[in-house]
Structure 1
């Protein structure tokens, strides 16, 4: 009986291991179109790796996060991202970092990170932050919002719409950790009204319950991401 129990456990763990390793790889870009001839076109899901023998300390180093980002733009905020593109040693490690600067009344507008959760720490100032859930069982989208002060931490789950707003009269600074080397950013207003080529006016007017004139006016705006 004990031998039978042992082999049953062994089979269970073997199947569990197979399930764990038989999943698709995590996406590091919006899409990765397959090609039949690798000699014709090749683009990896991520970045190529340097020979470990050629690695150097500078590959794992980035400086400059002590410097404030430019906030003289329309949104009065700025994101300085440190991903695998800026810090090559992050490649395959599944993490990245960002410094976010907010002038008084500066906004990091509603956006999502399709490939990362985010943990935000306020270093200076006060921020009003929040995220919205996907559709709940009752069809609603619930807002989770909080006013953060220096030293406070808030988490934004992967893929959910979130924002930060400096409602104070002094500048604010935050550091964000992200669970992907290339988290991606979809700024909602820019993606919807600033897409190229534009999304059909008929689609947007019906989706947002706006008249066509208002949709065309919004599409003519200069949309930006921080």
Structure 2
């Protein structure tokens, strides 16, 4: 989800206002996913690199995340949405991390949609952690070096409980992955939209689904 700041500046507003409008876009995206029958939706809300931003903007984003949990979680719960977090949410402090865990616990049994929020997440850091877990298993004698395969590594990722993404979408016209789901997106269809995130509407989600439906996913095989 990209373009909150540019959207706000183009209107002479604060970046914080852009982020607030971005939250509304999240709600629209979730509703659209449910209508389309999508079962898994992962949103890159805050990257590990975003900590380089100003203290003011990080503070605004943190406050917005807290607002989302306190005022939007009930709507997610009513929609039968399961919330889960990947990344390093503990970096946001004990209080917010506790609220995030409580939100996950509250929605744990919901079935319609699994909404994964990537918070303080970085794909490379995730791969490093997964590698360390594998090494630890080998050292403890729980796993043979020769037995390590792709599935073993996938099982050590924070996304082990959900499928790899069928399609990965980036808004705002940027054409890069920016350290998001690097392992998991190896065979994802990629789509780059020239739409700033606060302008994202349900019809854009429908366009994504239509676009995906026209793709011929071969996974290295011959065209059908």
Q: Shared fold by TM > 0.5? A: no
Larger of the two Rg values belongs to structure: 1
More helix per residue: 1 or 2?
A: 2
| Structure 1 length-normalised TM | 0.32
Greater relative contact order, per chain length (Cα 8 Å cut-off, separation 6+)? 2
